[in-house]
Structure 1
Amino acid sequence: MKSIGAFLLQRLVAGLLVIAPVYLSVLLLLKGMGSLVGLVRPVAALLPDWLPREELAALVLVLALCLLVGLLLTTRPGRAMRTWVEHAVFDRLPGYRLIRSLAQQVAGKGEETAWTPALVEIEDALVPGFIIEELADGRCTVVIPSVPTPFAGAVYVLDRARVHPTDVPFTEAIKVVTRWGHGAGGLVQAMERTRDMRISPGAPATPARTVQPRAP
């Protein structure tokens, strides 16, 4: 009974991680529309009576504003302004940089190094995890996700030698966790390829310690 309750709680958290951003985005959109209703009332009067005129005009204005900001961000002044705003405002918000890194990993962008997929040595096992940051003393902060909820788990600070990055997309590593480990062989192969690429040509390879996965 306890395991069923834990499973339902994990599924609830996983659902919230999907629903909450969508819900907040809708709330922000509705708030923006409500703030602009008074401004668009003269334009809305030109629309047919059978349409929700003020709300429709406000929605169009909000979407146009979002498009305009997106276009501005493709220019050099726009990128400079975004960088300044992020450093001056958003970076002061707790968790903003980590959430931004996570979003960029999901989108397939390589601008951020946080949430890098890795296999981590925990006792005698290789455990799928994500590198959050590399510390000045050479150690790494890693997150070990719980199964099957990838965004809940434990945080470890480990020696760099025990953390093995895997050259796989973030979404592929997430799938391994959500599928109860199915497909972990691809992570092991990616770890071995990454390790072989770091060995200098002609230099004697140092035998790596073999870590056998713990039997279930």
Structure 2
Amino acid sequence: MRTLTEFMKTTLVGGFLIVLPVYVSLLLLAKAVQGLLALLKPITAEIPTSVEYRQILAIFVLAAVCFIAGLIVRTGPGLRAQEAVEEALLERLPGYRLLRGLAGRLTGQADEAAFKPALAEIEEALVPALIVEELEDGSYTVLVPSVPTPMAGALYILPPERVHPVDVPFTVALSVFSKWGSGAGEFVRAMQAAKASPVPPSSA
């Protein structure tokens, strides 16, 4: 009887651990789709109701608008206008700089030092983190993202000896955060490899 109870308990917990991440992922996807549909409302309102698949067409229209906007900001006047709008408005929006930095790293358009993956020593733990910037005194501002989304988290200012930059691709780091820490061994192996690398002798 005890074996049967133990079997049922472990099976139930195992199933829960499978269903919960799937549910959370679907919930986040539903929220993202809901936000996208709200963004597309002004566009879909202009499309005649007789047109089939209005929302899909609206997505293509939005993609075309984004592409054209991207072409414009590649020009000198467009870049200056973008910088002016960012400074006057967008920089004041909470989370804008983080989203811009993350998008820049994903597309390879941001500085490699921005949001560099690292392991941070916080209390007695090694915590996967992203380096936001290096301060004048050599300390680091680091973001410890929450899971399963790196769009929020906690900020720390730590001395350099407690921050260990790791040679891990940015996409791998995001995958670790989005998968509830699965694959975090990549961070540890990269830190160990960096410590094992011989330090080149300094020239006299």
Q: State whether TM-score is above 0.5.
A: yes
Following the alignment from structure 2 to structure 1, what is the Cα–Cα distance between the partners of residues 158 and 63? 46
Percent identity over the alignment? 41
Shift of 1:162: 0.7
Which segment drifts farther, 14-23 or 66-75? 14-23
Match of 1:28 in 2: 39
TM-score, with structure 1 as normaliser: 0.63
Aligned pairs, number: 185
Match of 1:73 in 2: 73
Q: Which whole-Å deviations, capped at 9, do the CAs of 1:138-177 have from their partners, x for residues lacking one?
A: 322223345x525365433211211011122122123334
Match of 1:171 in 2: 171
Shift of 1:10: 8.0
Shift of 1:113: 4.3
Which amino acid in structure 2 is aligned with residue 98 of structure 1?
L
Tell me if the contact between 2:101 and 2:110 (Cα under 8 Å) persists in the aligned partners.
Answer: no
Following the alignment from structure 1 to structure 2, what is the Cα–Cα distance between the partners of residues 62 and 179? 29
Shift of 1:194: 5.0
TM-score, with structure 2 as normaliser: 0.65
Match of 2:9 in 1: none
Shift of 1:61: 6.2
Tell me if the contact between 1:101 and 1:112 (Cα under 8 Å) persists in the aligned partners.
Answer: no
Following the alignment from structure 2 to structure 1, what is the Cα–Cα distance between the partners of residues 20 and 139? 33
Tell me if the contact between 2:148 and 2:180 (Cα under 8 Å) persists in the aligned partners.
Answer: no
Which amino acid in structure 2 is aligned with residue 89 of structure 1?
L
Following the alignment from structure 1 to structure 2, what is the Cα–Cα distance between the partners of residues 128 and 154? 12
Q: Taking structure 1 as reference, are residues 181 and 13 closer, same or farther at Cα in structure 2, changes over 3 Å only?
A: closer
Q: Which structure would you say has the larger RCO, counting Cα contacts within 8 Å and 6 or more residues apart? A: 1
Q: Which whole-Å deviations, capped at 9, do the CAs of 1:59-113 have from their partners, x for residues lacking one?
A: 4765554443232223232222222221122112122111211222334443374
Following the alignment from structure 2 to structure 1, what is the Cα–Cα distance between the partners of residues 112 and 37? 27
Match of 1:105 in 2: 105
Q: Structure 2: any 5+ residue segments left out of the alignment? A: 1-12
Match of 1:155 in 2: 155
Match of 2:8 in 1: none
